[in-house]
């Protein structure tokens, strides 16, 4: 623990007085930062022990507020991350209340302060001020106070209440939680893998199985002598004189004492803590600390077992995910709509109410009030631990995913083909209604979502992108990739790919990291690596996501797909207004849309944001992404092929904007006059002109040109210009290819004064020509 040190006052100088005044001023500024102190139970996982070289004998903890008698509670006092760590002067832990007969005391913690805050999201908010340990010795409630003092940010007192109880086994939970007195968790739990893991292991159905598995696969398995009073599996094992069998055979579980069978497998109390206090209360919600049982969405509850690399790694992977650090901004009072995707509590509430956040056409639905407190998107967000998934129809799913219901996108498109990714699409689609409605309502200042009016598809429209839906298509049939049809479980198939333990991206990509990129540092240089293993099953031999597919941007060269999409994004951005509302032709990385933009600009801006917010730069659906951008460019300029001629002209003469004969420099009539020139003069590009010897082409206008039906003369000549010296004779010479003999063009020209001389020579029908000026003297 930290203690304060007080110095005896001494005479000081005027300089010292000035320094003290400055120090006082800085202290006053620092004091403006609130302490935001808190006291919690710190989870300790097998992964923590390995990563931080903690004592191997350390007992794991789920960070619960309900624990078995004799089980350690690792207390963690935290303060605001903005408070200077050096300014934390003292933290004192005190047990302010405990059960009669308890001799429990606060003891030093084996955890170093450098271990830091457990939850990745909370590491952005808090820092550890001090650790301590409470080991309850009798059943009942314990209240601990932590007095935190700082040099510049004041002090605070924070408390935490622990319930110590004993284990009962799932059969006791069944009495209420089978649909009689309370919810129907027990019957669903019996169909989960948790409910039979120990049974299958000890009966030899899992192959390798040992005593080391029991710490997670049984209830209350704690070999610490102080915990024998918890009535957990290990204490009961000693009482029944049972030993782990030498041979794993199918009769092992059936031959165990009933008291141990009752505590075998992963049960209610593994996650909620021992249930004696809860059961004896029998629904008396007026008791202090009700429900006298841990109910949490903290990752530690699951990671006390699932953060155990290199084999039990689902929780370890999650630590590296963006879900673990979802933003805290859209939480709190009045954020009912936001939290339905941005926090664990909000999403669970939404799913349990069996509602989707947007319905066909972008109509906004009303939702009941929900828990708006912050909690990262963790295990319990996506998985319903009891197996009571929605909709159930009496049939649980293999991974106890919280829902596999179909998803309705903002434009009314119903997604039923995503498999397990239906869960992902619950949030990973635009929550701002239908694209067309969003543009129309925004321009009118009307609500575009339940919380107000905002432009664009919001964040994360990956579901809309991969399903090729809910964008501004201008009535065109824009092509789509086959990813949504060929990748098993869509999002899951790629983002949750298995990464081999020998792969440098192990624990950084795939699985529950959901990441497809990781960084490698060599000699201080950080290189981003794309995890393309799963892509190579179809695409074969690629090393990164930016591999060449097609010349989507019509640059004449097939570049990487992500480069092609970025080129089109840049081109589209130059056609949209800047923050001042002026179309300035500059490349923009983001847009500041205004309600007074034209409909065409808003439609194009929607597609720009749609493709940008998807984040994959075409990897999810390159044909659809590039098709939207080119359609937006065409709608603003009339030219869908970058560098091409107007679509209307191309379609009029060549039937398609992609017809090679309609390229700007092509001469489909064979007279050498390019399409761009005939377009500029209003000529029929398919009518061959008559070539005269003086380099003039007579081209049939095939209609009115400038109000006249007369033919048009097109001169095809080179203007050769050079500086002259009086009295010097100049001879123009030409050659068709380098290495040939130079030929004189016309007669020598004698300069009569200094200046610039120009000579026009016909070039029609000449593939290439080089010129030079010979002079005498």
Question: For the chain, how are helix, strand and coil distributed in percent, rounded to 5?
Answer: 30, 20, 55
- For the entire predicted model, the pTM comes to 0.81
Confidence of residue 372 (pLDDT cuts 50, 70, 90): confident
Mean pLDDT of the chain: 87
Give residue limits of the domains in the chain.
27-165, 170-273, 647-715, 717-776
Written as six digits, the tokens of 223 are: 């070999």
Tell me: pLDDT of 328 over 80.
no
* Residue located via tokens 């050096």: 86
CA distance 491 to 617: 16
Structural element, H or E, at residue 16 = helix 14-31
Written as six digits, the tokens of 554 are: 């019509």
Q: Per-residue pLDDT averaged across 685-702, rounded?
A: 66
CA distance 578 to 593: 9
Bridge partners of residue 415, in order along the sequence: 407
Tell me: pLDDT of 395 over 70.
no
Written as six digits, the tokens of 442 are: 């925004």
CB atoms within 10 A of CB 739: 5
Q: What pLDDT, on the 0 to 100 scale, is given for residue 383? A: 95
Residues 6+ apart with CB under 8 A from 352: 390
Which residue did the predictor score with more confidence, 336 or 231?
231
CA distance 434 to 511: 32
Q: Per-residue pLDDT averaged across 688-707, rounded?
A: 57
Q: Is 196 helix (H, G, I), strand (E, B) or coil?
A: helix
Written as six digits, the tokens of 745 are: 């063009």
Q: What pLDDT, on the 0 to 100 scale, is given for residue 393? A: 46
CA distance 657 to 638: 11
Bridge partners of residue 79, in order along the sequence: 127
Phi, psi of 281 (to 5 degrees): -70, -25
CA dihedral (593, 596, 601, 606) positive or negative: positive
- DSSP characters over 276-287: HHHHHHTT-TTS
Tell me: pLDDT of 571 over 60.
yes
Do the beta carbons of residue 199 and residue 245 sit within 8 Å? no
Bridge partners of residue 759, in order along the sequence: 720
Q: What pLDDT, on the 0 to 100 scale, is given for residue 396? A: 58
Packing angle of the helix pair 599-614, 435-443 (nearest 10 deg): 130
Structural element, H or E, at residue 214 = helix 214-217
Measured between alpha carbons, how far is residue 504 from residues 310, 528, 529 in Å? 14, 12, 10
By DSSP bridging, strand 66-68 and strand 155-165 are parallel
Written as six digits, the tokens of 755 are: 């200046």
Least confident of 171-175, 537-541, 633-637, 700-704: 700-704
Q: What pLDDT, on the 0 to 100 scale, is given for residue 137? A: 96
Written as six digits, the tokens of 235 are: 């204490």
CA distance 633 to 363: 29
Q: What pLDDT, on the 0 to 100 scale, is given for residue 79? A: 97
Measured between alpha carbons, how far is residue 81 from residues 93, 124, 131, 325, 757 in Å? 20, 7, 16, 15, 76
pLDDT tens-digit series, residues 219-260: 999 999 888 899 999 999 999 999 999 999 999 999 999 999
Q: What pLDDT, on the 0 to 100 scale, is given for residue 696? A: 61
From the list 763, 766, 761, the residue with the least C-alpha distance to 749 is 761
Confidence of residue 67 (pLDDT cuts 50, 70, 90): very high
CA distance 572 to 565: 11
Tell me: pLDDT of 132 over 80.
yes
Tell me: pLDDT of 536 over 80.
yes
Q: What pLDDT, on the 0 to 100 scale, is given for residue 757? A: 83
Q: What pLDDT, on the 0 to 100 scale, is given for residue 198? A: 98
CB atoms within 10 A of CB 373: 13
Tell me: pLDDT of 589 over 60.
yes
From the list 112, 114, 111, 41, the residue with the least C-alpha distance to 71 is 41
Least confident of 116-125, 180-189, 649-658: 180-189
Q: What pLDDT, on the 0 to 100 scale, is given for residue 440? A: 94
Do the beta carbons of residue 564 and residue 557 sit within 8 Å? no
CA distance 434 to 436: 6
Q: Per-residue pLDDT averaged across 110-135, rounded?
A: 94
pLDDT tens-digit series, residues 464-522: 999 999 999 999 999 999 999 999 999 999 999 999 999 999 999 999 999 999 999 99
Q: What pLDDT, on the 0 to 100 scale, is given for residue 15? A: 38
Task: State whether CATH 2.60.40.10 applies to domain 27-165.
Answer: yes
From the list 664, 644, 709, the residue with the least C-alpha distance to 699 is 709
Q: What pLDDT, on the 0 to 100 scale, is given for residue 225? A: 81
Q: Per-residue pLDDT averaged across 299-313, rounded?
A: 95
Measured between alpha carbons, how far is residue 50 from residues 61, 74, 672 in Å? 15, 17, 75
Written as six digits, the tokens of 646 are: 């107007």
pLDDT tens-digit series, residues 273-285: 999 999 999 878 8
Tell me: pLDDT of 410 over 60.
yes
CA distance 624 to 221: 54
Q: Is 677 helix (H, G, I), strand (E, B) or coil?
A: helix
Q: What pLDDT, on the 0 to 100 scale, is given for residue 715? A: 64
Q: Is 518 helix (H, G, I), strand (E, B) or coil?
A: strand
Q: What pLDDT, on the 0 to 100 scale, is given for residue 373? A: 86
CA distance 714 to 63: 85
Tell me: pLDDT of 629 over 70.
yes
Q: What pLDDT, on the 0 to 100 scale, is given for residue 59? A: 94
Mean pLDDT is highest, among 327-331, 452-456, 573-577, 719-723, for: 573-577
Confidence of residue 679 (pLDDT cuts 50, 70, 90): confident
Least confident of 312-326, 413-427, 519-533, 702-716: 702-716
Do the beta carbons of residue 425 and residue 407 sit within 8 Å? yes
Cα dihedral 613, 616, 618, 624, rounded to 10, equals -50
Q: What pLDDT, on the 0 to 100 scale, is given for residue 703? A: 45
Q: Is 476 exposed, middle or buried (0-12, 13-18, 19+ CB in 10 A)?
A: middle
Tell me: pLDDT of 751 over 90.
no
Q: What pLDDT, on the 0 to 100 scale, is given for residue 332? A: 84
- DSSP characters over 520-585: EEETTEEEEEE--TTGGGTS-S--SS--B---TT-SSS--BHHHHHHHHHHHHHHTS--TTS----
Phi, psi of 49 (to 5 degrees): -60, -45
Tell me: pLDDT of 29 over 80.
no
Please state whether the peptide bond connecting residue 310 to the residue before it is cis, i.e. omega within 30 degrees of 0. Answer: yes
CA distance 165 to 99: 12
Tell me: pLDDT of 298 over 80.
yes
- How remote is the C-alpha of 652 from its chain's centroid? 45
Q: What pLDDT, on the 0 to 100 scale, is given for residue 665? A: 85
Q: What pLDDT, on the 0 to 100 scale, is given for residue 357? A: 40
CA distance 248 to 95: 46
Mean pLDDT is highest, among 274-278, 374-378, 711-715, 751-755, for: 274-278
Tell me: pLDDT of 65 over 80.
yes
């Amino acid at each position: 623990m930290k203690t304060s040190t007080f110095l005896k006052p001494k005479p000081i100088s005027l300089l010292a007085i000035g320094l003290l005044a400055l120090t006082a001023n800085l202290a006053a500024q620092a004091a403006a930062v609130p302490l935001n102190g808190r006291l919690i139970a710190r989870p300790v996982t097998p992964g923590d022990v390995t990563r931080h070289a903690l004592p191997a004998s350390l007992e794991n903890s789920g960070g619960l507020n309900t624990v078995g008698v004799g089980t350690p509670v690792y207390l963690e006092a935290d303060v605001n991350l903005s408070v200077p760590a050096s300014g934390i002067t003292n933290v004192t832990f005190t047990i302010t209340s405990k059960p009669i007969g308890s001799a429990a005391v606060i003891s030093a913690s084996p955890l170093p302060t450098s271990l830091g805050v457990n939850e990745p999201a909370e590491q952005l908010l808090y820092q550890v001020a001090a650790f301590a340990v409470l080991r309850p010795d009798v059943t009942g409630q314990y209240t601990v106070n932590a007095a935190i003092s700082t040099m510049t940010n004041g002090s605070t007192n924070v408390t935490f209440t622990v319930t110590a109880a004993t284990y009962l086994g799932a059969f006791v939970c069944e009495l209420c939680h089978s649909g009689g007195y309370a919810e129907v968790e027990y019957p669903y739990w019996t169909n989960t893998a948790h409910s039979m893991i120990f049974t299958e292991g000890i009966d030899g159905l899992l192959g390798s199985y040992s005593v080391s598995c029991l710490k997670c696969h049984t209830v209350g398995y704690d070999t610490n002598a102080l915990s024998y009073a918890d009535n957990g599996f290990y204490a009961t094992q000693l009482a029944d004189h049972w030993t782990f069998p030498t041979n794993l055979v199918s009769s092992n579980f059936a031959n165990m004492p009933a008291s141990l069978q009752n505590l075998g497998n992963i049960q209610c109390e593994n996650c909620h803590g021992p249930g004696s206090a809860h059961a004896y209360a029998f629904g008396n919600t007026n008791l202090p600390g009700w429900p006298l049982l841990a109910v949490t969405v903290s990752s530690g509850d699951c990671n006390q077992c699932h953060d155990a690399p290199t084999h039990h790694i689902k929780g370890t992977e999650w630590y590296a995910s963006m879900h673990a650090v979802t933003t805290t901004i859209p939480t709190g009072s009045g954020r009912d709509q936001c939290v339905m995707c941005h926090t664990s509590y909000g999403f669970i509430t939404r799913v349990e109410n069996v509602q989707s956040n947007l319905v066909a056409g972008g109509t906004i639905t009303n939702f009941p009030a929900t828990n708006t407190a912050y909690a990262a998107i963790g295990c319990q967000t996506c998985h319903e631990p009891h197996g009571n998934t929605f909709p159930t129809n009496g049939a649980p799913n293999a991974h106890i995913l919280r829902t596999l219901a179909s998803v309705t996108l903002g434009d009314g498109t119903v997604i039923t083909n995503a498999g397990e990714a239906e869960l992902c699409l619950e949030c990973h689609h635009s929550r701002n209604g239908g694209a067309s409605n969003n543009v129309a309502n925004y321009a009118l200042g009307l609500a575009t979502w339940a919380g107000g009016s905002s432009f664009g598809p919001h964040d994360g429209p990956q579901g809309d992108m991969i399903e090729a839906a809910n964008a501004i298509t201008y009535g065109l049939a824009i092509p789509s990739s086959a990813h949504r049809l060929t990748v098993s479980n869509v999002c899951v198939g790629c983002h949750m790919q298995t990464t081999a333990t020998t792969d440098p991206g192990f624990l950084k990509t795939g699985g529950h990291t959901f990441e497809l990129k990781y960084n490698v540092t060599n000699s201080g240089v950080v290189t981003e690596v794309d995890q393309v293993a799963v892509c190579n099953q179809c695409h074969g031999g690629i090393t990164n996501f930016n591999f060449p597919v097609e010349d989507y941007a019509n640059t004449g060269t097939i570049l990487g797909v992500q480069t092609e999409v970025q080129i089109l994004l840049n081109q589209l951005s130059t056609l949209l207004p800047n923050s001042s509302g002026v179309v300035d032709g500059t490349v923009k990385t983001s847009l500041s849309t205004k309600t007074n933009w034209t409909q065409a600009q808003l439609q194009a801006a929607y597609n720009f944001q749609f493709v940008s917010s998807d984040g994959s730069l075409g990897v999810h659906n390159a044909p659809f992404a590039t098709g939207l951008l080119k359609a937006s460019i065409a709608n603003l300029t009339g030219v869908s092929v970058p560098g091409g001629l107007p679509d209307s002209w191309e379609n009029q003469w060549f039937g398609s904007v992609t017809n090679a004969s309609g390229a700007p420099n092509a001469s489909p009539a064979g007279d050498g006059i390019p399409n761009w020139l005939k377009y500029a003069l209003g000529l029929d590009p398919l009518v061959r002109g008559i070539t005269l010897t003086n380099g003039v082409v007579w081209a049939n206008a095939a209609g009115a040109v400038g109000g006249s039906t007369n033919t048009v003369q097109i001169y095809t000549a080179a203007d050769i210009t050079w500086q002259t010296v009086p009295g010097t004779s100049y001879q123009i010479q030409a050659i068709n290819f380098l290495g040939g003999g130079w030929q004189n063009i016309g007669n020598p020209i004698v300069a009569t004064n200094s200046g610039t001389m120009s000579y026009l020579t016909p070039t029609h029908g000449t593939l290439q020509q080089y010129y030079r000026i010979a002079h005498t003297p």
